[in-house]
Structure 1
Amino acid sequence: MDPLKHALLEYHERSKHRVNSYAPGPGRLDWATQPDPFRVFDGTARVGLPLAADTLATRYNDLRCGTLPLAHGFDLSNLAILFELSLGLSAWKSYGAQRWALRCNPSSGNLHPTEGYLLCPALPDLPGGVYHYLSRSHALEHRAAVEDPQWTEAFSESGVLLGVSSIYWREAWKYGMRAWRYCQHDCGHVVAAVSYSAAALGWQTRLLEETADDAVADLLGLDRREDFGVAEREAPDVLLWIGNPALRPDLERMRTALDKAQWHGRANQLSSGHVTWADIDSIHRVTHKPPTRAPTSSTPQQRPPPATPALDLNFARIARQRRSAVNFDGTTCITTGAFFSMLACLLPRRDTPPWNALMSAPAVHAALFVHRVDGLEPGLYMLVRNTGALQDLKQSMRPEWLWQKTGPDCLPLYFLLPYDLRAAAKLICCDQDIGADSCFALGMLASFEIALKEPWRYRHLFWECGMLGQALYLEAEAAGVRATGIGCFFDDEMHALLGLKDHAWQSLYHFTVGGALDDQHLCAFPPYEVQP
């Protein structure tokens, strides 16, 4: 077996939770070494961003239907909105003497391994260069000032770049070996959050899938050892092009211009102690991405827009009110109309967020445990997001499944098994009640052969799962309910239920949607009580 393929499979199998044993973890939480949730580059000039999101009139329903507003100009105020509604704080919560921040982008354990960067030419009120976004203060830290005219020319005056990186230790502190998976989920959530926020400003988003990790690290300054010292390093994830989708920035010219740039700032150390997880180091090396050719753009199937949700909310409001449910009431039902509308938003539509960020065809599908959807029989359903995968899914699963087409004609939803699966959903979700008390739960099945052929695509499969999760979060809020992502699930119990016997299809993320029970002991405060 190819060494890279072997190492990938070894990590994937060893990082699975099982009924009789969980993936290797820290065993207990060392609160003295809990990582700081905010990366700061000391010694940089900071550009305070205005809190301008409330000036944005875009409705969430318009975005999900692909009706984007006229493109706003690229200036400090609009970029402030982009960051505020994707990577910014959404609230502060407190319980007793404890106080912590929530963000518009969700994160496993609210640990937030993801960092965001802006690369831009000279814009009104903002010099050109490389910036790090500090969500705590809603500010940009000017990491590199670039005066070479090649830098501005490389952008073609048509957009900006948003870079994403991950600090694995933030998740590994709590989750150990499986933390790498959660970092990839969180990256996918961020890609989707940025896509929605950009679309609210009339901008298109494209993931630059062909870019090598080394190029991302170079452009974001992540390979500058002198700027990190003993601080936790950041792994390069992705570059997102925001602007004219018909054009692409010239990254090589940017890198050349950066050779003459002056960099500023040293990264803060997030934790006083660390545990080395060799398996995380290994999968990081295995999935290191080389330069590749840009993928051939898939042509999404023409589909009618989804039905209007129960709550026609302003996008800024829905982005900031998104929360992860901790418990469900076990009684709330949603209508079939709301259910079908949610699922319709998980299907790619041209130039519609968040799927406009991806060039490749969908590789992840949803196996749904329906518990409480009025007018729909409880049981197991499958949403086939890429119809070309239908036959393979049928052949890979139990032969007795019904595969009965249901729902609107335009929705590739299939009824597999009429049965009360609440107990099974609870067991698969590490015996958590939220699997059974929800309106519906789902597992995300990925075409794993993609990762085995090109190991760096293992990350992309998790990203796609995270994007599905972000869409479900917003759809749940618009339907008047709530959602939560579940990273703790028994992978092979899910596979056994479906009848999957090899690595062709693997479950990479679980999710639930239902009526939330709020903790009345928690106090909430505005995200930015004092203008930074």
Structure 2
Amino acid sequence: MRQDNSSGKAYHEATKHSYLSVQLDPNYIDASTQPIAFKVYPKFYRRVKLNLNNKIHSFIWLTSAVTLEKVYNNVPYKLRVNPSAGALYPTEVYVQIRGVPDIVDGIYHVEVENNCLTLIYELIDDGLESYIIPNKSISGFIFFISSVYYRSSWKYKNRSIRYCLLDSGHHLGAIAASAYLHERDIQLIFDFDKLALNTALGFENKEFITACAVSGEAQDQKVRQLRLQVPFVCGTDYFEANQFIEDSYQTTACQTSQKQQLKQPQFDFEPDKFYQTVWNRRSIRRFRKESILQEQYLYVLQKLEQSIPTENFEEVEIYSVVHRVDGMLPGLYKGANLIKAGNFSEQTGYLCINQAIARDCGVIFFFVCEYTSYQTAMQIAGFLGQRIYLVSNYVGIQCSGIGAFYDNETQQFLETDKDVLYAMAIGI
């Protein structure tokens, strides 16, 4: 039967897991063939070394910083403030800076590995505002998230379109966390002409823009489009095209989101403690099957309900399956409402492709959505996932994102016909 690929739902449907699909394609890979995870421009490009004693530099640095280096199965990994499926890190960050003292107005690439800004385009009277907010000029910062999708599709094949978008949402969450610590408001923007911007940035088919975050003052001033195409450097040492991913991105890039009023979240984190949380955030690999406190669980739920700073929005509903929370009846919940009681730990472990973390955690969250914009919905799911990571770690419990599950069976368990976008496990 031919797929109707005119909507995000069709592409989501085409990347569903089932017990049979996983058995037929266990997806073994050769780790020695992994493409590089850092994009670096040639050495003759002008660079600004980020000085962490400078508040502006610190704000930029903490959006993407490497926080730990480790070796796993003889493969070195540099872990960052933003989680990523399989630690493959397909996201890159570019930032337009305008009107900031001691920094040349321009478009910069955030060179994560070397902790610096690389100037890739110097501005005159042109800029990226014209692609996202016409007739406005931003004095401050516009962060752009892109996906170098082959870093993810190398392992996850077609389903990596999901991981690229979830990872983009995680990275937006990391920008939001740095903005909070540096007392800056941000606005996430998902609806803009991404295809035109990809062309202006010279991305060919190897990289694509997913979203942006604005932090600055908007002025009524028309900014013309870039006078020149930005020079392009491939973000991997070799590249293999995936037509499914390229088609799914092209189609869903044009979908428009629902609308809401822009509202900043109101958090009351203790700054030093939250900074350490951002710095030390990790994905847990194993839970000890111990109960978490009810106040810890409720604190996470409360922070999840805080607003997302965007006018482009998709309503992501969150179900929670309580396994081990002191004072709470095990079962499936939506918000504070118990839908069905029972010990479902074995079942959720099975649904998440027999991953022990989904069985042994204290609570597992499932994100579902009926969307108009697939890209926005998936990125908001990733943004909320990053919020769960930070809030759970802040209150002393652990967390792990789960992108692999049997889609249809999970829908049946949750008793919903909406698409399941993501799962998050918390516990001890």
Give the structure-1-normalised TM-score.
Answer: 0.73
Change (3 A) 1:51 1:26: farther
1:513 equivalent in structure 2: 426
Q: Deviations over 1:204-230 (max 9, x none)?
A: 1112334211343256x244x5xxxxx
2:35 equivalent in structure 1: 35
Query: Would the aligned equivalents of 2:313 and 2:376 in 1 still touch at CA under 8 Å?
Result: no
1:287 equivalent in structure 2: 252
Q: State, as a whole percentage, how many aligned pairs show the same letter.
A: 26
1:272 equivalent in structure 2: 238
Change (3 A) 1:269 1:370: closer
Q: Deviations over 1:151-180 (max 9, x none)?
A: 999875643211111011110001111001
Q: Deviations over 1:372-408 (max 9, x none)?
A: 111111111012xxxxxxxxxxxxxxxxxxxxxxxxx
1:469 equivalent in structure 2: 385
> 1:495 and 1:196 mapped to 2: Cα distance?
31
Query: Would the aligned equivalents of 1:15 and 1:23 in 2 still touch at CA under 8 Å?
Result: no
Alignment of structure 1 residues 91-490 onto 2, 5 Å? 91-95=68-72, 98-148=75-125, 156=137, 158-217=139-198, 221-223=201-203, 233-244=206-217, 247=218, 253-255=223-225, 258-259=226-227, 263=230, 266-268=232-234, 270-272=236-238, 274=240, 276-289=241-254, 295-297=259-261, 313-331=272-290, 333-349=291-307, 355-356=308-309, 358-360=310-312, 363-383=315-335, 413-447=336-370, 450-451=371-372, 457-490=373-406
The one-letter amino acid of 2:247's match is S
Tell me the SS of whatever aligns to 2:70.
strand
> 2:33 and 2:137 mapped to 1: Cα distance?
45
The one-letter amino acid of 1:463's match is Q
Query: Would the aligned equivalents of 1:336 and 1:373 in 2 still touch at CA under 8 Å?
Result: yes
Measure how far apart 1:148 and its partner are.
3.3
The one-letter amino acid of 1:34's match is Q
Structure 1 unaligned blocks of 5 or more? 53-76, 226-231, 350-354, 384-412, 452-456, 516-532
Query: Would the aligned equivalents of 2:323 and 2:331 in 1 still touch at CA under 8 Å?
Result: yes
The CA RMSD over aligned residues, in Å, is 3.0
Q: Deviations over 1:76-100 (max 9, x none)?
A: x333222322211111113585422
Query: Would the aligned equivalents of 2:66 and 2:113 in 1 still touch at CA under 8 Å?
Result: yes
Q: Deviations over 1:391-429 (max 9, x none)?
A: xxxxxxxxxxxxxxxxxxxxxx21111111111110111
Tell me the SS of whatever aligns to 2:223.
helix
Tell me the SS of whatever aligns to 1:142.
strand
Tell me the SS of whatever aligns to 1:325.
coil
1:530 equivalent in structure 2: none
Q: Deviations over 1:56-115 (max 9, x none)?
A: xxxxxxxxxxxxxxxxxxxxx333222322211111113585422000011001111101
> 1:14 and 1:267 mapped to 2: Cα distance?
31
Larger Rg: 1
The one-letter amino acid of 1:415's match is L
Measure how far apart 1:20 and its partner are.
1.7
Measure how far apart 1:282 and its partner are.
2.1
Bigger RCO (CA 8 Å, 6+ sep): 1
Change (3 A) 1:491 1:95: closer
Query: Would the aligned equivalents of 2:323 and 2:330 in 1 still touch at CA under 8 Å?
Result: yes
> 1:273 and 1:128 mapped to 2: Cα distance?
32
Structure 2 unaligned blocks of 5 or more? none
Give the structure-2-normalised TM-score.
Answer: 0.89
Q: Deviations over 1:247-295 (max 9, x none)?
A: 3686x6141xx20x5855x514613352x433212212211227x7994
